[in-house]
Amino acid sequence: MEGAALLKMELPVNRALSARYDALIASGEIKEDPVQREAVRHLDLLNTRLAETRLASKKSSLGWLFAKKKNQLWSAVKGLYMWGGVGRGKTMLMDLYYEVTVIQRKRRVHFHEFMTDVHERIHEHRQAHKRGEVKGDDPILPVANQIAAETRLLLFDEFSVTDIADAMILGRLFTQLFEKGVIVVATSNVNPSNLYKDGLNRQLFIPFITMLKSQVEVLHLDSPTDYRLEKLAGAPVYVTPLGQQADTEMDRLWTKLTHGMKSHAEELENKGRKIPVPCVASGAARFSFDNLCMQPLGASDYLRIANAYSTVFIEDIPVLSKARRNEAKRFINLIDTLYDNGIRIVVSAEAEPQELYTSEDGTEAFEFDRTSSRLIEMRSEAYLAGERREIHA
């Protein structure tokens, strides 16, 4: 049976993810991987447990008298924390699981975006308290109540804690969420024991790690193969000149890298502003040059993108002159940030790197020499497999 047809079939809950994984193997999109297969087994078991718990909770849904019992039923379900290096298939597995989970009240979100939302809710509660609209000045319980009312299953991409403001509220917030029966499935580059490593006042964060590990199964995706590198190795990740052939090649590389997964648009939060991301799939993001360099974006915005995606497509990069120095400056900042964080890029450009900036004088001309050099390095297999990716991990 063709993979696409198999994907559309209704299959038993206890092997729904396995069927989709098998379909991708049959279609040639991915290769069989025993480490990924073990993750699929864990996720199918979780889906089965969720289906059983949903049925049991419906039987006891006789109003508020049984709310506590229902929460206890859901709290007994352990989620899953999958961690490992870039390119091990974490995002692909999350894509597939999001499709098949039996839970309707589900939310998939980058962990940084989730925490931004939490801080906004906390701020709103405090403002409402100042206006006398709500009682109690502690916002954690009402915020947890809001989240739990909206979401039964939280799916986190890139679970990582680097901010002390996040670290200080996570323990109290997730104590409430877990008690209310919220289940967590997360991907991360970091072993949960190393979350917020070397962070300020980390000893205060250790109880959260202990609690998290009690609420999730921890699975290390330690496959020796970096599949994202495998798909890009030998590929023309710098496509020039622009035109129909370049567009076709970019489409081909995108489909290959994302396993043909359906893409979607999303927004990233950064310092109260939103960064539109027009195309996202399987942990990769796809932008045009105009999206990134014709908009008022700065280094912190590019860092936000680097922290969210391990591979970035940049299309239709034009040759730049001194008359477009603002766009050139943004492009320099963009490439510096992606390079410094070891992010893999696939680009289509009007010319080779050393020919992308035509002016020979001014600060941008000097800085663009570095950009050209980095673009050349970033298309090499040495960079794609290099140590710089460890910065991002």
- pLDDT 10s digits, 47-76: 999 998 888 877 655 554 556 677 888 989
Q: Residue 8: how many CB atoms within 10 A of its CB?
A: 7
pLDDT, tens only, 220-236: 998 777 766 666 666 78
Q: How confident is the model at residue 124 (pLDDT cuts 50, 70, 90)?
A: very high
Average the pLDDT over each of 2-11, 214-223, 255-264, 324-333 and give the range with the smallest value.
2-11
Q: How confident is the model at residue 249 (pLDDT cuts 50, 70, 90)?
A: very high
Average pLDDT over all residues of the chain: 87
The per-residue pLDDT for 3 is 36
The per-residue pLDDT for 56 is 80
Residue 191 has pLDDT above 90, yes or no: yes
Sequence-distant (≥ 6) Cβ neighbours of residue 278 within 8 angstroms: 265, 286, 287, 288, 291
Instruction: Using the Cα atoms of residue 2, residue 250, residue 265 and residue 118 in order, give the sign of their dihedral.
Output: positive
Sequence-distant (≥ 6) Cβ neighbours of residue 91 within 8 angstroms: 157, 187, 282, 283
Instruction: For residue 309, give the 3-state DSSP assignment.
Output: coil
The per-residue pLDDT for 60 is 56
The per-residue pLDDT for 312 is 96
State how far the Cα of 257 lies from the Cα of 30, in Å rounded to an integer. Answer: 10
Facing residues of 276 across strands? 267
Residue 247 has pLDDT above 50, yes or no: yes
In the chain, the domains with their CATH numbers are: 3-220 (3.40.50), 227-392 (3.40.50)
pLDDT, tens only, 360-390: 776 777 788 889 999 999 988 778 876 444 4
State how far the Cα of 350 lies from the Cα of 315, in Å rounded to an integer. Answer: 10
226 — alpha (psi -120 to 50), left (phi > 0) or beta? beta
Q: How confident is the model at residue 206 (pLDDT cuts 50, 70, 90)?
A: very high
> Judging by beta carbons within 10 Å of its beta carbon (0-12, 13-18, 19+), is residue 366 exposed, middle or buried?
exposed
Q: Which residue has the tokens 């927004």?
A: 267
The per-residue pLDDT for 87 is 75
The per-residue pLDDT for 223 is 79
In 308-351, beta strands by DSSP E: 311-317, 344-349
The whole model's pTM is what? 0.72
The per-residue pLDDT for 185 is 97
> Judging by beta carbons within 10 Å of its beta carbon (0-12, 13-18, 19+), is residue 223 exposed, middle or buried?
middle
Q: Are 192 and 84 in contact (CB under 8 A)?
A: no
